[in-house]
Amino acid sequence: MSRRSEITRKASTQSIAAPRARALATEGGDRQSYHVGNLRESLIREALSILQEGDGLQALSLRKVAAASGVSHTAAYRHFDDKNALLAAVAEEGFRLLYDYQREVVAEAGDDLTERFLNLGWLYVKFTIEYPQHARIMFGGAGLEFKAYPALVAAAAKTFRQLLEVVRRGQERGIIAAGSSKHLALAAWSIVHGVAMLVLDGQIRLRGDAADIEQTVKSVISTLFHGLAARPA
């Protein structure tokens, strides 16, 4: 008993992002023995799990999250000032998760920069499709005031900086056009974010299988890469 609580306490002191990046994609984990030491993490995890069920943002309540963690609903106030603070933590976790995924793609060896760009963009869209409600919280659908949560702002900025670096490296190698790398990165982020949101909202109908969607999305991204305008022949 005392041994277990020692373990869980230790777990609570380190970032939950790294060890859980994979776990999130799989199943919920053990439901027992939360409390004392890891309730905070448990609440975030269960919130994600509830969002994953797809009943929309308004299906997420403090009470449900607490119940899923096997805890009285007032216990949440030990760890979060209020409901919004929990949402902010969920969003923050989302950005860390996305960052980790992106890092893998960026780190992948491969000389074809275009290819890598397509993959990075496709990853972003895939993330949004796989974690739609999660993505909505991250991208303002919950009406969260980001400014009130510096850690959240930092996590989001870090994710964007990753893209910015890829653009810069491309420019150095002469593969990406010269100019404000910030504006170019913004263009890349915008198109990928836009197509993700349109797919998520069903404006882009995903008739056909996953492969079709992937192809469509990549075609859109490659339009950005090569330009909409006709090349002067």
Binding site for DNA (CB under 7 A): 1-2, 5, 34-37, 39, 61-64, 71-75, 77-79, 82-84
Ordered DSSP codes for 35-58? STTSHHHHHHHHHHHHHHTTS-GG
Whole-number minimum distance, CB 149 to DNA, in Å? 14
Find the part of the chain contacting a second copy (CB under 8 A) among 9-17, 37-45, 196-204, 206-214. 196-204
- Select from a second copy, DNA, none the partner in contact with residue 77, using the beta carbon and a kind-dependent cut-off of 5 to 8 Å: DNA
Contact 226, 113 (CB under 8 A): no
Q: Which amino acid is at 19?
A: P
How large is the greatest C-alpha to C-alpha distance in the chain, in angstroms? Answer: 76
- Select from DNA, a second copy, none the partner in contact with residue 82, using the beta carbon and a kind-dependent cut-off of 5 to 8 Å: DNA
Please give the structure tokens belonging to residue 123. 């990853």
Question: Does 207 engage in binding with a second copy (CB under 8 A)?
Answer: no
What CA–CA distance (Å, rounded) separates 125 from 3? 43
State CA 200 to chain mean position distance.
Answer: 14
- CB count within 10 Å of CB 179 equals 10
- Select from DNA, a second copy, none the partner in contact with residue 22, using the beta carbon and a kind-dependent cut-off of 5 to 8 Å: none
- Select from a second copy, DNA, none the partner in contact with residue 48, using the beta carbon and a kind-dependent cut-off of 5 to 8 Å: none
Q: Closer to DNA at the Cβ: 55 or 212?
A: 55
Question: Does 198 engage in binding with a second copy (CB under 8 A)?
Answer: yes
